[in-house]
Structure 1
Amino acid sequence: MGEEVEQQEFSRTDRTRHREKVRRNLDVFARMLREARFDTDDPMTGLEVELNLVDDAGDPALKNSEVLEAIADPDFQTELGQFNIEINVAPARLREGGLATFHDSLRRSLNNAEEKSAPLGAHQVMIGILPTLGEQHMGIGAISANPRYKLLSEQILRVRGEDITINIAGRERLSTTADSILPEAACTSTQFHVQTSPDQFAAYWNAAQAIAGVQLAVAANSPYLFGKELWRETRIPLFEQATDTRSEELKAQGVRPRVWFGERWITSVFDLFEENVRYFPALLPITDDEDPLEVLESGGTPHLHELRLHNGTIYRWNRPVYDIAHGVPHLRVENRLLAAGPTVADTIANAAFWWGLVRHLAESERPLWSQMSFSAAEENFHVAARMGFDSLVYWPGLGQVRASELVLRRLLPMAYEGLDQWGVPPEQRDHFLGIIEQRCLAATGGAEWFVRRMGARADEQREDALRATLLDYCDRMHTNEPVHTWD
């Protein structure tokens, strides 16, 4: 969800003071990295899932505040749109049965939440973009009550100086504008977290970047937006455009976007935070009273409020995270590429594949990123988002290869080894990676199933077909049978 902020106006003095404080935070962070004051002994993994809310007919239900009040569980939080909520699953260690723990905890929490929200006419759906969402749901009134969201929208529009333009060419074409960042709310995601030491952070982040395209190819779940069939993972271009602070002129000058794949392999986590400070002006220049150097020199752990808040407004697909637990700082890679669903089983399978593959690649003797260019990884990312299982991606030693074939031939064995390195129980490893294998063999993920089902309703009105297909999707989602087994 990001850090809580209060609604306020910012003066030029506020911005100057904030910039100086962020740079002071960065200097202290660099010193902390040198002095190794981080929790690295027994790494944790984590999971967050963003959900959509629909009514009984399958249309968006703008009721997140009522739903959260009914659920009354602090693990559930608001998100940008009133048709969104988020659940934060408690961190776990994979060697302690974490995959099953995540699966059982998430399913139990979602079933309990559904039981409490259904009487309100609001049902939870795990899908990247709600197919029944329309432009009529994009008004400023649909933003959640949390002041952070309205403030972010105002600041992005202020910096941009004009309405946000959405242009996406896929199987069909969409062109529209918005006077707020609410189209971002259409982009619900799953976030996988992995804790790592400062010394290993660069390897884990580089590995995550290198496999981003393959992740999308086998787990895409967002084929429709505003009634149009676009990319298999339409969240990617939509999110890139919905929070873009750049005018057309700034884009032409090569100014970097706030939703960013990046531009190079890194050698340290410091590279990412330093880029954040160097390239991006603050959207929320809120300055805390903490003196981070004074805290550090007195033996404490600085919160680095400004650096963390700034980091939260730069939307890398693999984001660096500095956090504190029980007074001890730690670092995490936050993977933000994928949509949730279609089922809890599919979601945990996607997580298992990522955790296993990233672990194996990060600890390989010859780094994958020494064998391929960063631009090749970025091209894989966008090609896979557009085409899903049909995408051809580049892989060292193979050249251009179909993504599903690459997973079956090369990457699944690596993921198996990576989960073994984590100490995952073999029965859990085999179960969840088996879902990925069967999905690749059937060439069927959430996006492919939805598009095929829509094809069977080609004679119906598009809006009616989308509602009916979404309700079919919801019925199957509740069975928790993986999507490749659906009819």
Structure 2
Amino acid sequence: MGRDVAPNAYTPRDRGRYRRKVQRCLDTLARMLSDGSFTFPRKHIGLEVELNLVGEDMRPSMSNTAVLNALDDDSFTTELSQHNIELNVPPCPLDGTSALRLESVLDDYLDKAHRKAGDVGVFVAMIGVLPTLKPEHFDQKWLTNSARYSLLNDEILASRGEQPLLSLEGVGLPDRAPERLRSFAQSILPEAACTSVQLHLQVAPEEFAAHWNAAQCLAGVQVALGANSPFLLSKALWHETRIPLFLQATDTRPEELKNQGVRPRVWFGERWITSIFDLFEENVRYFPGLLPETDDEDPMETLESGEVPQLTELRLHNGTVWRWNRPVYDVVDGKPHLRVENRVLPAGPTVVDMMANAAFFYGAQRALAEQERPVWTQMSFQAAEENLYAGARNGFDAHLYWPGIGWVPPDELALRVLLPLAREGLRSSGVAAEVADRYLGVIEQRCLRQRTGSVWQRDTVVRAEDRGLDREAALTFMLSRYLELSRSGEPVHTWPVD
């Protein structure tokens, strides 16, 4: 949902036209899938990284316009809140040593972001949830100045008919009682607290269902091993608080519709699929348009004329249904392709940690997708969804279900099953052994030491509070130290707890 929209209210006629146009796009996609309209010369991967801006006091800095002007680089763009920016890294091949070059490119982009942000007096924080956010930072005035964001905010609030409620029961810090958050928001800006790294994998149409199903199976262990979002509004909550926060911040359903079983727009899904069409069709069938913008293209006529349709309305609609593993249709250099967009992981703590998370995901996903007896034929879809929430809530203390093993901690599941599979999948993808060794070694050590970004943040705050700091001062100290260690580039499992 990257393009802007017209800054005006929508009429019933707009919504009817949009619904018909989305259905026309869906019919065109079905034709393209049956006709073999997609080319697939080589697997490509891509990354998007959402970033926070903070001042010297470690509080959010509402300065994304100034920072983006200083950057003057189309790879960086706005996000929902004025304290966010997003980095879109150009796609690259998955095979060979491309990942090492991607790591270097990421380092270069982030070094530039740090320098240019420093020129305007702010710091860049690559973290899942900024721990120093306060309720006042969710005031609607802090929305980035864009018609798209304002209209999205208004449409979600109007659909819900009431203020978003953030309600979470946390996991207690070491030797501490669990904490609870209950807070109403004036806008959808709590969504902007959820800063993620989004992994893209280009796949052939006939391979899409297997790769998406595999990604769903991996979601729980991904968030458990990559958790980096333990604090929100001064409360210690889930290890990966982004997962429930994103759901609650963008929920268009009042309680009555939740009780009726209406689906949330932040969605894991409800079944294994046999085609990418299943996902687009569900999105159209279940979710009304939030931004009912239309263009003049007739996608079916475009296809029949031998050209590539943009499917603009279907893509816009797809961007307002936030599946944790999202289907993507895109056109690059005049050629259509399909991607799986994996959205479960937080940003940070370092570039090498994010690259390790990506290598683990791409490798394990490939291996699972190519198994003769797929793992998703041996477990219920609901078990995969429960794994996501268990991993997000409890981190290494979660118990995840895996066929043939039963209930198992995520570190044991990774060490015994998924790391060997990831290595096999990377090898099948033509990834060099040195690349697999570098990144999967980080995941292995993270499991052996049971140290994620979330664990480090929680332990550091406990240590600071034991020295007499109150929660606000402890969070400020922790974030300052986090930024220092993140810039060092050393993976989080090596970080000391001061």
Instruction: Give 1:449's aligned amino acid.
Output: W
Which runs of 5 or more structure 1 residues have no equivalent in the other structure?
A: none
Question: Residues 32-111 of structure 1 correspond to what in structure 2 (within 5 A)?
Answer: 32-111=32-111
* 1:338 matched to 2:345: yes
Task: Look up the match of 2:495.
Answer: 486
Instruction: Give 1:410's aligned amino acid.
Output: V
Instruction: Please give the per-residue CA displacement for 1:118-171, whole angstroms capped at 9, x wherever unaligned.
Output: 121211111010000111111011111121111100000111111111111113
Q: Which of 206, 210, 217 is 1:210 aligned to?
A: 217
Instruction: Give 1:440's aligned amino acid.
Output: C
Task: Look up the match of 1:198.
Answer: 205
Instruction: Give 1:435's aligned amino acid.
Output: V
> Is residue 79–residue 86 contact of structure 1 (8 Å, CA) maintained in 2?
yes
Task: Look up the match of 2:471.
Answer: 462
Task: Look up the match of 2:174.
Answer: none
> Is residue 61–residue 122 contact of structure 1 (8 Å, CA) maintained in 2?
yes
Instruction: Please give the per-residue CA displacement for 1:283-315, whole angstroms capped at 9, x wherever unaligned.
Output: 001111001111000000000110000000000
* 1:267 matched to 2:274: yes
Instruction: Give 2:209's aligned amino acid.
Output: A
Q: Secondary structure at the match of 2:200?
A: strand
* 1:235 matched to 2:242: yes
Q: Separation in 2 of the partners of 1:142 and 1:102? A: 33
Q: Secondary structure at the match of 1:115?
A: helix
Identity among equivalent positions (%) equals 55
Task: Give RMSD over aligned pairs.
Answer: 0.8
* 1:134 matched to 2:134: yes
Cα displacement (A) at 1:213: 0.1
Cα displacement (A) at 1:96: 3.8
Q: Separation in 1 of the partners of 2:57 and 2:351? A: 23
Instruction: Please give the per-residue CA displacement for 1:397-435, whole angstroms capped at 9, x wherever unaligned.
Output: 110001101100110000001111111111111001100
Task: Look up the match of 1:280.
Answer: 287
Q: Separation in 2 of the partners of 1:124 and 1:422? A: 34
Q: Which of 441, 447, 472 is 1:440 aligned to?
A: 447
Task: Look up the match of 2:113.
Answer: 113
Q: Separation in 2 of the partners of 1:53 and 1:6? A: 28
Deviates more, 1:428-437 or 1:91-100: 91-100
Instruction: Please give the per-residue CA displacement for 1:174-223, whole angstroms capped at 9, x wherever unaligned.
Output: 00111211000000100000011111100000000011000011000000
Q: Secondary structure at the match of 2:407?
A: strand
Task: Look up the match of 1:308.
Answer: 315
Q: Secondary structure at the match of 2:89?
A: strand
Question: Residues 360-371 of structure 1 correspond to what in structure 2 (within 5 A)?
Answer: 360-371=367-378
Cα displacement (A) at 1:381: 0.4
Q: Secondary structure at the match of 1:457?
A: helix
Q: Secondary structure at the match of 1:158?
A: helix
Q: Separation in 2 of the partners of 1:205 and 1:182? A: 29
* 1:2 matched to 2:2: yes
Task: Look up the match of 1:249.
Answer: 256
* 1:298 matched to 2:305: yes
Q: Secondary structure at the match of 2:113?
A: helix
Deviates more, 1:131-140 or 1:2-11: 2-11
Q: Separation in 2 of the partners of 1:429 and 1:226? A: 38
Q: Separation in 2 of the partners of 1:78 and 1:147? A: 12
Q: Separation in 2 of the partners of 1:437 and 1:460? A: 34
Instruction: Give 1:468's aligned amino acid.
Output: F
Question: Residues 409-424 of structure 1 correspond to what in structure 2 (within 5 A)?
Answer: 409-424=416-431
Q: Separation in 2 of the partners of 1:353 and 1:3? A: 31
Instruction: Please give the per-residue CA displacement for 1:208-247, whole angstroms capped at 9, x wherever unaligned.
Output: 0011000011000000000000000000000000000001
Cα displacement (A) at 1:473: 0.4
Question: Residues 317-356 of structure 1 correspond to what in structure 2 (within 5 A)?
Answer: 317-356=324-363
Q: Secondary structure at the match of 1:376?
A: helix
> Is residue 79–residue 85 contact of structure 2 (8 Å, CA) maintained in 1?
yes
Q: Secondary structure at the match of 2:346?
A: coil
Instruction: Give 1:6's aligned amino acid.
Output: A
* 1:471 matched to 2:480: yes
Q: Secondary structure at the match of 1:254?
A: coil
Instruction: Give 2:162's aligned amino acid.
Output: E
> Is residue 92–residue 101 contact of structure 1 (8 Å, CA) maintained in 2?
no
Instruction: Give 1:133's aligned amino acid.
Output: L
> Is residue 196–residue 332 contact of structure 1 (8 Å, CA) maintained in 2?
yes
Task: Provide the TM-score with structure 1 as the length reference.
Answer: 0.99
> Is residue 43–residue 94 contact of structure 2 (8 Å, CA) maintained in 1?
no
Instruction: Give 2:470's aligned amino acid.
Output: Q
Q: Secondary structure at the match of 2:213?
A: helix
Aligned residues: 487
Instruction: Please give the per-residue CA displacement for 1:94-123, whole angstroms capped at 9, x wherever unaligned.
Output: 214221122100111110121111121211
> Is residue 183–residue 238 contact of structure 1 (8 Å, CA) maintained in 2?
yes
Which runs of 5 or more structure 2 residues have no equivalent in the other structure?
A: 172-178
Instruction: Give 1:139's aligned amino acid.
Output: D
Instruction: Please give the per-residue CA displacement for 1:324-368, whole angstroms capped at 9, x wherever unaligned.
Output: 011110000000001011000101000000010101111111111
